[in-house]
Amino acid sequence: MNALLLKSSFPDFDSISAEHVVPAIEAILKANRSELASIKVGAEGADLVQAFHALERLSARLNDAWAPIAHLNAVMSHDALRTAYNTCLPLLSAYETELGQDRDLLEIYEAIAAQQTALQLSRAECKAVANALRDFRLSGVALSDDDRKRYGELKQRLSEQTSLFSEHILDATDAWEKVIKDEAELDGLPETAIALARQAAEAKGYGGYLLDLSSPSYSSVMTHATDRGLRRAVYEAYTTRASELGPQAGQFDNTALIQTILEDRLALAKLLGFGQFSELSLATKMAENPAAVMTFLTDLSNHSKVVAEQDFDEIACFGSEALGLSSIQPWDVAYCADRLKRHRFDLSDEDLRPYFPAQKVIDGLFEIVQRIFGVEVTPVTDMSVWHPDVTTYLIHREGVPLARFYFDLYARAKKRGGAWMADCRCRRQDPAHGLTLPVAFLTCNFPPPVNDQPALLRHDDVVTLFHEFGHGLHHMLTQVDCASVSGINGVAWDAVELPSQFLENWCWDPEALNLISGQVETGEPLPLALLDKMQQARNFCSGMQMVRQLEFALFDFRLHNEFDGNPATLQAILDQVRAAVSVIPISETNRFQNGFSHIFGDVMGYAAGYYSYKWAEVLSADAFSKFKEDGIFNRQTGERFLTTVLEQGGARDALELFVDFRGRAPTVTALLQQEGIL
């Protein structure tokens, strides 16, 4: 238990065990409740600012303990930890509901808000108080006793259901594997992918080669395998995960969970006076109402659909004429697209991979960030880690420490798929205990090193790394001292992707590419000929990529905006959305919704909010256009983005910050031009 109660700036992972988790969280919740009672008594006529800081201290204590537990459950899952994690979920949900419905606590915040000028609150503190008052309303503080109880029950069940949804995906992903005895069956796969499959087989004591549903293995087969039957088998295993179909049919089925999650979200929204869950979701986002979101997504689809149809027609024609495929099936699309890309641009992802050794990319990323924002990144060895692959770093500026972070970059079993940034510690200034600096978890699922060869990244992997590090900078470079609005806290969810998508742009610039590329054997940067091909191919199939994201966003938003309790509604909406925007064939067995963890799993903010990726991409493309005007390493422009966006966290409204940086409101034009659609 002690490892989770430490007051150090980062957790001691060497000392955390599953049996510590529940006792530690129970102890912290008990202590918080006791101190909360004292705060409420002491706040009557006492120092309200002192009460405000004391309340932040309680929140930080719980977050500092829970953040590493939640992270370990995502990256090093095992039965004992999962049981402990799930045992804590209802305890945390009940505590959160208690706070949100505590009318005495509400009165303290109302008193602080009424006297904020006299109390000389900072701008960030005023925003934190305003957010808290909003959140009290969204937590049902004004409901009757029976409805408040109902609210707590719904929140607790949703917490448990969404966690179980994610567990099912992880278990279904780990449950499938295919042993290949004859290397000839892997024809078309790059040498690195074959070596990885051989290494995976050896690790499990198998002969031959092992394919699984991890991102590196799945992507390699779908993109490169000439064996159409193999592509189909892997595709069907992946797209039927956690459903009533496929190799584990019914074993980890999320179908009933989805229905219950939707029903409970709708009930929660109606309990709070909203017509649909979409309206509740937007209460903490930039978009004003559901109509604004639908108009935004429809406008993008109107611009993109024609381009996407042209993209697919070219792929289908090439598949027929060059590859002998009379009809393109879902498991053929990525393969045909890659072959067409090679034919048209004489370029494949595998041509680029040798130029992006992971360590070279990481070093170049740090150099780029230093040039733009004037901050330095230094490896450190005084932080305990949960796996030998994890590396740790310090961010500082002119010798002044700003933050620390962890990199956990490679795929492995029992690790959640995808890539993400999560906070470990949040920046806050406590009059009683001083300044706590932020700490971030940065997680990806890249192909690991094979034998003695370093990990080699696809350019898409490089973009992903920059994306997540952009989130990390938003969290770590904040200068806001109030935890509830420092870093990414308090940022409107449809603006939270701005810094991440913004930083991706440096992955395409010739000057930046010289810093992040180096041939694995010679160290030579990306040759001009390959750079030219990569630039020409940047918007290859950009229309298809755009409508694919719009399909996800429209499905998510319409589902949460129109759900009526009928189990048939989900499939009806998905079919309508696909008819409107999708251009690729869809298998009848495709159950992508059963693996859509962004909106049904324990990822906060994306339910009725997946549109945020495109919404924020408008902001990021427009923000980067300023760098294209001034120079991508212009320090004055970088400093302005740092001070107006990254350092401000959630202390000011996102649109206000964007206008401060850009000098005007955002427009969609820069994004459409960047994607080659205009």
Q: Please determine, for residue 678, whether its predicted confidence score (pLDDT) is greater than 90.
A: no
Where does the pLDDT of residue 603 fall: very low under 50, low under 70, confident under 90, or very high at 90 and above? low
43 pLDDT tier (thresholds 50, 70, 90): confident
Beta pairing, strands 434-436 & 428-430: antiparallel
Mean pLDDT calculated for residue range 360-380: 98
Is a pLDDT exceeding 60 seen at residue 6?
no
Are 315 and 584 in contact, with CB atoms under 8 Å apart? no
Characterize 612-630 residue by residue with b for buried, 16 or more Cβ atoms within 10 angstroms of its Cβ, and e for exposed.
bbbbbbbbbbbbbbbbeee
Do 255-347+542-610 and 354-536+613-674 agree at the fold level?
yes
Residue 644 DSSP one-character state: I
Q: Is the pLDDT of residue 369 over 80?
A: yes
Q: What is the mean pLDDT of residues 410-415?
A: 95
In this prediction, residue 602 carries a pLDDT of: 73
Quick one: CA dihedral 141, 146, 149, 151, positive or negative? negative
- Per-residue model confidence (pLDDT) at position 5: 37
Find how far residue 190's CA is from the centre of its chain.
Answer: 28
Give the pLDDT of residue 317. 97
Mean pLDDT of 592-617: 92
DSSP string, 88-145: HHHHHHHHHHHHHT-HHHHHHHHHHHHTTTTTT--HHHHHHHHHHHHHHHHTTTTS-H
- Domain covering 2-100+102-138 in this structure, CATH number: 1.20.1050
pLDDT band at 47 (very low <50, low <70, confident <90, very high): confident
Q: Phi/psi zone of residue 6: left (φ > 0), alpha (ψ -120 to 50 degrees), beta? A: beta
Among candidate residues 125, 167, 350, 468, the one labeled active-site is 468
The CA radius of gyration of the chain, in Å to the nearest whole number, is: 25
CATH topology of domain 255-347+542-610: Neurolysin; domain 3 (1.10.1370)
Q: Which residues have a Cβ under 8 Å from the Cβ of 515 and sit 6 or more positions away? A: 364, 367, 368
Tokens 């509400």 found at: 106
DSSP labels for 653-673? -HHHHHHHHHSS---SHHHHH
Q: What tens digit of pLDDT does each residue of 558-600 get?
A: 999 999 999 999 999 999 999 999 999 999 999 999 999 999 9
How far, in Å, CA of 580 to CA of 574, rounded?
10
In angstroms, the CA 93 to CA 86 distance is: 11
Taking CA atoms, 637 is separated from 76, 437, 640, 662, in Å, by 40, 25, 5, 10
What percent of the chain lies above the pLDDT cut of 90?
94
525 and 672 Cβ atoms separated by less than 8 Å: no
287 pLDDT tier (thresholds 50, 70, 90): very high
Please give the pLDDT value at position 221: 98
Would you tell me how many other CB atoms lie within 10 Å of the CB of residue 677? 17
Handedness of CA 28, 29, 30, 36 (dihedral sign): positive
- What is the pLDDT at residue 496? 95
Q: List pLDDT tens digits, range 490-517.
A: 999 999 999 999 999 999 999 999 999 9
Closest by Cα among 442, 445, 405, 409 to 425: 405
Residue 575: CB atoms within 10 A of its CB come to 13
Give, in degrees to the nearest 5, the angle at Cα 311 between 354 and 302.
Answer: 125
Once rounded to an integer, what is the mean pLDDT over residues 422-446? 95
Angle, vertex CA 483, rays to CA 482 and CA 486, nearest 5 = 80
Residue of 461, 362, 456, 356 lying closest to 406 (CA atoms): 362
* CA-closest candidate to residue 627, choices 636, 618, 619: 636
324: left (phi over 0), alpha (psi -120 to 50) or beta: left
Task: Identify any residues that bridge with 435 across adjacent strands, giving them in sequence order.
Answer: 429
Task: Examine the pLDDT at 228 and tell me if it is beyond 70.
Answer: yes
Q: What is the mean pLDDT of residues 437-450?
A: 96
pLDDT digits (tens, 9 = 90+) for 63-76: 999 999 999 999 99
pLDDT surpasses 90 at 46:
no
As a whole number, the mean pLDDT across the chain is 95
The two structure tokens encoding residue 281? 């979701």
Q: Is the dihedral of CA 294, 300, 301, 303 positive or negative?
A: positive
Cα–Cα distance, 513 to 506 (Å, whole number): 8
**Beta-carbon count within 10 A of 125 CB:** 23
Sign of CA dihedral 37, 43, 45, 50: positive
pLDDT at 1: 37
Q: What is the C-alpha separation between 153 and 93, in angstroms, rounded?
A: 9
**7 has pLDDT over 70:** no
Instruction: Sketch the domain layout of the chain as residue ranges.
Output: 2-100+102-138, 176-239, 255-347+542-610, 354-536+613-674
Token pair for residue 218?
Answer: 């799945």
Q: How confident is the model at residue 44 (pLDDT cuts 50, 70, 90)?
A: low
- pTM for this predicted structure: 0.95
pLDDT at 2 > cutoff 50: no
Amino acid at 223: T
Alpha-carbon span 406 to 450, nearest angstrom: 22
Q: Which two tokens stand for residue 639?
A: 């400093």
- 175-200 pLDDT, tens digit each: 999 999 999 999 999 999 999 999 99
Specify the pLDDT at position 487. Answer: 97
Quick one: what percent of the chain has pLDDT higher than 70?
98
pLDDT in tens, 519-537: 999 999 999 999 999 999 9
The CA–CA distances, whole Å, from 573 to 290, 446, 553, 561, 605 equal: 16, 34, 12, 11, 21
pLDDT tens profile 126-178: 999 999 999 999 999 999 999 999 999 999 999 999 999 999 999 999 999 99
DSSP-assigned beta bridge partners for residue 180:
209
Distances (CA, A) of 511 to 139, 358, 462: 49, 18, 15
Which residue shows structure tokens 């709708």?
266
CATH of domain 354-536+613-674: 1.10.1370.40
Reply yes or no on whether 468 is catalytic. yes
CB 364 within 8 A of CB 563: no
Comparing C-alpha atoms, which of 569, 430, 449 is closest to residue 50? 430
- Separation between Cα atoms, residue 337 and residue 531, nearest integer Å: 20
